[in-house]
Amino acid sequence: MKTQKIGAWIAILFGATYFILPLIATFEFSLRMRRGEYSFDAYRSVFTDSQFQESFTYSIIMAVLTIVFGVLLIVPTAYWVRLRLPQFRPVMEFVTLLPLVIPAIVIVFGYLRLYNSSSWIPFTGSTRGTDLLLMFSFMTLSLPYMYRSVDTAMRTIDVNTLTEAAQSLGAPWRTILFRCIFPNVMSGVLSGAFITFAIVIGEFTMPSLLNRPAFGPYLQLIGANRAYEPPALAIIAFAITWFSIGILQFLSRFNKARPAKP
Amino acid sequence: MSFLALSEIKKSFGPVQVVHNFNMAIEKGEFVSFLGPSGCGKTTILRMIAGFETPSGGTIRINGVDQTTLKPNQRNIGMVFQAYALFPNMTVYENVAFGLKVAGMARADIDRRVKEMLALIHLEHLAERYPYQMSGGQQQRVALARALAVKPQVLLLDEPLSALDAKIRVSLREEIRLIQQQLGITTVFVTHDQEEALSISDRIVVMNAGRADQIGTPSDIYNRPATRFVASFVGTLNLIEATVEDPQANRIRIGEHAIQIRDSLAQSRGGDKVAVALRPEAASLQATARTDTALPGEVVASSFLGSVVRTRLNVGGNTISFDMFNDPGLTPLAAGEKVTLHFAARDLLVIRD
Ligand SMILES: Nc1ncnc2c1ncn2[C@@H]1O[C@H](COP(=O)(O)OP(=O)(O)OP(=O)(O)O)[C@@H](O)[C@H]1O
Ligand SMILES: [Mg+2]
């Protein structure tokens, strides 16, 4: 009992060292831009860089759009598969896992072949079209996480009976989906949204090959050309990540839905 | 004309037919129970009435209007499920208000109606609770209020009590019956618990493998079972093998005792084997003014059931159970003891297969 506890503490300590030490080192290095003293010069340099502001704003807008459209696509799909095509679930699982197996670069080259400006659906013919295509690619990338977390959340409610209860009370499909199902899978939607956010902010391959000014390519550019700014960016990205987790935690507190007692 | 009419309803899932030509006419305000063993098709019929399954044949009419092809949300039917099925993201109040909101009722009217329904189930004080903050019995009462709030034409309940413990089950079934009578709502109640069905129904449909074996009042079903299945499914029953002695005189023979019964034997011939049934409560060890027949027997075992003691006897090769009221002064009968069983011959029922 006692030795088990000590073991657990050692494990935690080891994990913390593994995780926190590099973080501290990175932070320390990012403060050393000015010779001989610690300063936030690197951060100032990053924040005043107009390219940072632009690429970051672009990526955040993309992330929000990806989440909104992803949720609108995936929640109804997962719901319908559970309700009407349960035998189809293994196929869905397989399909949604594909983006993990197929490298992003393969997917994006496929897109470029299919949707280039001389194709039938010329997404890349205009900037807006390319943005749209990029959003769809982000949706593809986030599919495994989004689908899984929504589907898991759906497992905790009895989708079939809730649907029938709502139907017998006269509710049409739209009402059932948005008033009875959506609020009850909010926890899954939130965690899926969070992972999607992280993926979109950091993604390099797709925006760089589609030549859009996203945060990922900017990170890469800075990393290749500067010394002190990259660690500062890493710390900023990290802070944003934790900030979003905090927001999620905060939001999920308002989400009172819990499975009813059996 | 009947209010809810099911005629020639059939249902097949793939090659398997689970409901066979089901006919039933339910009057307005009537409380009908579907009683039967697991898998006999009770839920399937209920779901066809609600519109969740489409019948493979036959028609469903409510108040003369054909419902067969209507979608569930186009029918005006209230449904209560075994698993409560309250919306977990809504409070009690919001759950009960849901159907009214969907119907586009004005907010003040919704408020009045919800309060009325919560008063009906005595849960006004829990209006702001979420389903997970309530007991199963409370949740089921909310589900009942939610179903009734929209003033459905028919109320359907699919084993609403089977997830609850015994005490709540009894009190809630009485509450359901009381509310049903108060509102005069036509109700179909599915259960596999015969005591439940007997205690609250106007009529009972005993189902066996997708068919209605017998439709009748609780006392009909219990006292005059139409088939061997009904007799054995409802209540405990002693089946005694007998031989027809004189079909014209309704005389049978059990062992070496000739007995005159009330049931008609017109379809049998002398020498035929028949099964006759005797309820455990119809027999006793003392002769009374009512009894006219006595058979010798030997005690096999006796078991204490609380208010009654059920004893099994061996009577000429047949095992017969009978009940005695518990009496603190009584010494239980020992196995092997010789006794005489008294009963009235007119309580014997001839069971047809
Ligand atoms: N969707 C379905 N697909 C195939 N077979 C089904 C389906 N629903 C029900 N059945 C079959 O139909 C038969 C009747 O089922 P039903 O649910 O009506 O029984 P029940 O009388 O309600 O039983 P229980 O008391 O266990 O609830 C069963 O044999 C069942 O396996
Ligand atoms: Mg059932």
- Distance CA(A160)–CA(A168), nearest Å, equals 12
Comparing CA positions, the residue from B165, B252, B163, B191 lying closest to residue B177 is B191
| pTM reported for the whole predicted model | 0.83
Please report the DSSP string for B285-298 in residue order: SS--SS--EEEEEE
CA–CA dist B296, B200 (Å, integer)? 38
The tokens of A124 are what?
């890349």
Q: Are residues B55 and B177 in the same domain?
A: yes
Give me the pLDDT at residue A72, please. Answer: 93
Q: Is the pLDDT of residue A145 over 80?
A: yes
Quickly count: other Cβ atoms within 10 Å of residue B345's Cβ: 18
Number of H-type helices and E-type strands within chain B: 8, 20
Write down all domains in chain A, each with its CATH number in brackets: 49-257 (1.10.3720.10)
Q: CA A144, CA A154: separation in Å to the nearest integer?
A: 15
Token representation of residue A32: 């050393």
**A54-102 tens-digit pLDDT:** 998 899 899 999 999 999 999 999 999 999 998 998 999 999 999 989 9
Q: How many CA atoms lie within 13 A of B121 on its CB side?
A: 28
For residue A99, what are its two tokens? 């983006």
Tokens 């807008």 correspond to A61
B182 CB less than 6 Å from ligand 1? Answer: no
Nearest ligand to residue B34 Cα: 1
Paired tokens of B287:
């002769």
Q: Domain total for chain B?
A: 2
- Can you point out the beta strands (E) in B209-264? 211-216, 238-246, 251-254, 257-260
Residue of B18, B45, B213 with the most ligand 1 atoms within 8 Å of its CB, for mutation: B18
Q: Of A143-157, A195-209, B28-42, B123-137, which gets the smallest average pLDDT?
A: A195-209
Q: Report whether B57 contacts A225 (CB < 8 A).
A: no
Determine the 3-state secondary structure of B110 from DSSP.
Answer: helix
**Which residue(s) pair with B186 in the sheet?**
B154
- Report the nearest-CA residue for atom 20 of ligand 1: B39
pLDDT of residue B189: 95
pLDDT score at A255: 56
Dmax (CA) of chain A: 74
Taking the centre of ligand 1 as the mean of its atom positions, its distance from the CA of residue A258, in whole angstroms, is 29
Nearest by Cα to B45 from B162, B188, B185, B155: B188
Q: What is the DSSP letter of A3?
A: H
Give the domain CATH number at B307.
2.40.50.100
User: CA triplet B288, B294, B299: central angle to 5 degrees?
Assistant: 105
* Cβ within 8 Å of residue A34, ≥6 positions away: A41
The last residue of one of the domains, among B232, B249, B270, is B232
State the Cα torsion A239-A241-A243-A246 to the nearest 10°.
-140
Closest-CA distance, B146 to chain A, in angstroms, reads 8
On the question of pLDDT at A47 being above 80, the answer is yes
Same domain, B56 and B97: yes
Q: According to the model, what pLDDT value does residue B158 have? A: 94
CB-neighbour burial class of residue B58 (10 A; exposed 0-12, middle 13-18, buried 19+): middle
Of A162, A175, A183, the CB nearest to B85: A162
Which residue on chain B is closest to A158 by alpha carbon? B85
Element containing residue A77 per DSSP (H, E): helix A50-84
Q: Residue A252: what pLDDT?
A: 67
Averaged pLDDT of chain A: 86
Positive or negative, the CA dihedral B237, B243, B245, B247 is: positive
Q: What CA–CA distance (Å, rounded) separates B328 from B324?
A: 12
B132 residue type, one letter: Y
B16 lies in the same domain as B159 = yes
The two three-digit tokens of residue B17, written as one number: 């037919």
pLDDT given at position B97: 95
Tell me: do B207 and B258 sit in the same domain. Answer: no
Confidence of residue A245 (pLDDT cuts 50, 70, 90): confident
CA distances from B96 to B76, B101, B146, B349 (A): 16, 9, 4, 49
CB B279 within 8 A of CB B237: yes
Q: How many CB atoms lie within 10 A of CB A11?
A: 10
Pocket-testing residue among B17, B19, B43, ligand 1, by greatest number of atoms within 8 A of Cβ: B43
Give the residue with greater pLDDT, B9 vs A3.
Answer: B9
* End-to-end Cα, chain A, rounded Å: 35
Q: d(Cα A177, Cα A167) in Å, to the nearest integer?
A: 11
DSSP, res B353:
-
Which residues pair with residue B254 across a beta bridge? B257
Name the residue with tokens 């609600």. Answer: B50
Instruction: Judge if B175 and B310 occupy the same domain.
Output: no
Task: Report the candidate in A15, A132, A25, A148 with the shortest Cα–Cα distance to residue A78.
Answer: A148
3-state helix, strand, coil in chain B (%, to 5): 30, 35, 35
- Tokens 């020992």 found at: B334
- Using CA atoms, how far apart are residues A205 and A217, in angstroms rounded to an integer? 8
Asked if residue B342 and residue B269 are part of one domain, the reply reads: yes
A1: pLDDT confidence band, cut at 50, 70 and 90? low
Q: Give the closest residue to A66 by CA, choosing from A171, A7, A136, A150.
A: A136
Distances (CA, A) of A247 to A82, A191, A240, A253: 30, 11, 10, 10
Contact B188, B32 (CB under 8 A): yes
The four Cα atoms B217, B218, B219, B223 give a dihedral, to 10 degrees, of 110
Give the gap in angstroms from C-alpha B71 to the nearest C-alpha of chain A: 9
Interface contact B81-A184, CB threshold 8 A: no
Protein residue with least CA distance to atom 9, ligand 1: B44
CATH number at residue B173: 3.40.50.300
User: What digits encode the pLDDT tens for the residues B173-205?
Assistant: 999 999 999 999 999 999 988 899 999 999 999
Amino acid symbol at B16: V
Closest Cβ–Cβ partner in B77, B84, B135 for A168: B77
**Same domain (yes/no): B90, B198:** yes
- In this structure, the number of other CB atoms found within 10 A of the CB of residue A29 comes to 17
Interface residue of B43, B73, B79 to substitute, partner A, most A CBs within 10 Å: B73
- Does residue B160 share a domain with residue B59? yes
Name the residue range of residue B95's domain.
4-232
> What are B25's two structure tokens?
């006419």
- Claim to verify: residue B193 and residue B243 sit in the same structural domain: no
The domain boundary, picked from B167, B202, B232, lies at B232
Interval B242-300: pLDDT, tens: 888 887 778 888 877 788 887 777 777 777 888 888 888 888 888 888 888 888 888 88
**Final residue of a structural domain among B180, B215, B232:** B232
Interface confidence, given as ipTM, is: 0.83
Q: A256 and B134 in contact by Cβ < 8 A?
A: no
- The residue whose two tokens read 């500067």 is A226
Do B192 and B332 sit in the same domain of this protein?
A: no
Interface probe, candidates B44, B48, B70, B87, chain A, greatest A C-beta count within 10 A: B87
Distances (CA, A) of A207 to A74, A112, A134, A211, A219: 23, 12, 7, 6, 12
Closest to B43 measured CA to CA, from B207, B230, B227, B217? B207
Note whether B228 and B343 are same-domain residues.
no
The whole-number pLDDT of residue A261 equals 40
SS3 state at B312 = strand
pLDDT exceeds cutoff 60 at A204: yes
Q: What is the mean pLDDT of residues A11-37?
A: 87
pLDDT tens sequence for chain B (353 residues): 689 999 999 999 999 999 999 999 999 999 999 999 998 999 999 999 999 999 999 999 999 899 998 999 899 999 999 999 999 999 999 999 999 999 999 999 999 999 999 999 999 999 999 999 999 999 999 999 999 999 999 999 999 998 888 888 999 999 999 999 999 999 999 998 889 999 999 999 999 988 899 999 999 898 888 888 888 888 777 888 888 888 777 888 887 778 888 777 777 777 788 888 888 888 888 888 888 888 888 888 888 888 888 888 888 788 888 888 888 877 778 888 888 888 888 888 887 66
Are B161 and B121 part of one and the same domain?
yes
